[in-house]
Amino acid sequence: MAEQSIGALAQKVIGPWAWWQAALKNPAAIGKTLPVHDGDPQQGYYRVRYGKDKPFEPVAIWKDEQGNWIAYRAGREVRAEDIWTSVCRNPVSYEAYVNADEGKGWPDDDKVVAAQVKPPEPTVGDNSGAADEAATLMDQIEAALAGMDAYKAISDDATAAKALSLRNRLNELSREADKIRTKEKEPHLEAGKAIDAKWQPLVKKAKAGADQVRDSIGAWETKKLQAERKRQYEIEQARIAAENAAHERDGETAALDAPQADAIPEGATGQIKATYGKAASVSAKVFLKEVTDYAALYAYMAGREEVQLVLRQLAQRALDAGRTNIPGITTEERANVR
């Protein structure tokens, strides 16, 4: 192939290859001391993504003996003038180009990602079913998870870049599986929505009525409970007064004859029996009415794990917003990978 002879020439610093060789040595110079112009390609070897965030494809650009531009992208002939500005900032060595062109991937590829992610090829028809998709995704996910062993400890930027490729692939597989799950479930969801639209108004209307009746019963039982508490309080006050009077007369008879408060079972005041359906139990329960001192309430609840979790989340939110004067915490600076 003509590329092979050109590749051999590229091992030397030759005029037509000078731009590419200089770009390989100093990529930061591209567009600065190494000018880039539309429609003015430079001979060399490059790579370009076949889609946003997709793997790179190898590209070779050179002039033939008649001075015509020739370019190949992943084995497909393309116009050098059209592809130039897309590839110029990604020069690669001839060896890297050949390996990629032969399907061996790039030096900075994660092996699992390189094996799984290929440029799309034209296909005729599609007989794969959901079960096949699930099995394929399962195999790919398992392979990607197995590849994590290579990144348990990362000690250089090149390894970090490969690890990021694997992370991106795992996220992509997760999205693909979730997309298929959503698609498969959609007909059932639509059927469920139709059923809900028919029955939920009836369910909610009947439940709302039942709750309203419950609240009315509760209001009546609360009124009875408060009256009983008042009666018990008045009896207790009469007993105390009788005791005090007895002691003043140096006798015990009056105290023994004083009214006694009724014993009320703890937490229960009885039942309501209906002529239809089940009985309802009625118990005395203390409800929160309002918070009058949040600091005191926090001090009382601070030892609870769920309170501490909420406070940690609120503190992190404040740190994310740029607050630096948060009392009661220590901080550390770490790299945040998104």
Task: Judge whether 89 and 69 are in contact, CB under 8 Å.
Answer: no
2: pLDDT strictly greater than 60 = no
Per-residue pLDDT at 257: 55
**Cβ within 8 Å of residue 77, ≥6 positions away:** 70, 71
Confidence of residue 152 (pLDDT cuts 50, 70, 90): very high
d(Cα 45, Cα 65) in Å, to the nearest integer?
18
Give per-residue pLDDT as tens, 191-246: 999 999 999 999 999 999 999 999 999 999 999 999 999 999 999 999 999 888 88
Give per-residue pLDDT as tens, 52-105: 878 899 999 999 989 999 999 999 999 999 999 999 999 999 999 999 999 888
Per-residue pLDDT at 130: 52
Confidence of residue 249 (pLDDT cuts 50, 70, 90): confident
Torsion of CA 52, 58, 59, 62, to 10 degrees: 170
Bridge partners, residue 69, by sequence = 63
Amino acid identity at 145: L
Q: What count of Cα atoms within 13 Å lies in the side-chain half-sphere of residue 5?
A: 5
Confidence of residue 10 (pLDDT cuts 50, 70, 90): very low
266: pLDDT strictly greater than 60 = no
Read off the pLDDT of each residue in 130-152 and give the average, rounded to a whole number: 87
Q: Is the pTM of this model over 0.85?
A: no
Percentage of the chain lying above the pLDDT 90 cut: 65
Read off the pLDDT of each residue in 173-190 and give the average, rounded to a whole number: 92
Per-residue pLDDT at 314: 96
